Amino acid sequence: MSVELRKRGFSYAEILRKVPVAKSTLSLWLRDGQLSRIQQQRLTDKRRAGQLCGAQTRRRQRVERTETIVRNAQKDIEALTKREKLLIGAMLYWAEGSKEKEGNWGVGVHFSNSDHRMVRVFQKWLIEVLEVQNSDIRYEIYVHDNHAYRLSKIRKFWSQKLSISLREISRVYFKKHKVKSNRKNQGNGYYGLVRIRVRSSSTLNRKISGWIEGVIQNWGIV
Residue 50: inside a domain: yes
pLDDT attached to residue 7: 55
Euclidean distance between CA atoms 209 and 217, whole angstroms: 12
pLDDT attached to residue 191: 97
Identify whether residues 100 and 159 lie together within a single domain: yes
Q: Which helix (H) or strand (E) holds 194?
A: strand 193-198
Euclidean distance between CA atoms 12 and 195, whole angstroms: 63
Percent helix, percent strand, percent coil in the chain, to nearest 5: 60, 15, 30
pLDDT attached to residue 4: 60
Identify whether residues 155 and 120 lie together within a single domain: yes
Identify whether residues 31 and 106 lie together within a single domain: no
Identify whether residues 117 and 211 lie together within a single domain: yes
pLDDT attached to residue 91: 97
Q: What confidence tens digit (pLDDT) does each residue in 150-178 have? A: 999 999 999 999 999 999 999 999 998 77
Quote the domain boundaries for residue 100: 82-218
Residue 77: inside a domain: no
Identify whether residues 55 and 104 lie together within a single domain: no
Q: Which of 151, 140, 77, 66 is nearest to 108 (CA)?
A: 140
Q: How far apart are the first and last CA of the chain?
A: 78
pLDDT attached to residue 182: 61
Q: What confidence tens digit (pLDDT) does each residue in 89-100 have? A: 999 999 999 998
pLDDT attached to residue 37: 62
Q: Which of 163, 77, 90 is nearest to 122 (CA)?
A: 90
Identify whether residues 110 and 173 lie together within a single domain: yes
Residue 210: inside a domain: yes
- Is residue 194 within 8 A of residue 162, CB to CB? The reply is yes
Which amino acid appears at position 197 of this protein? R
Strand partners, 148: none
- Is residue 197 within 8 A of residue 137, CB to CB? The reply is yes
Residues of the chain with pLDDT under 70: 1-13, 15-21, 23-41, 43, 179-185
- Is residue 158 within 8 A of residue 141, CB to CB? The reply is yes
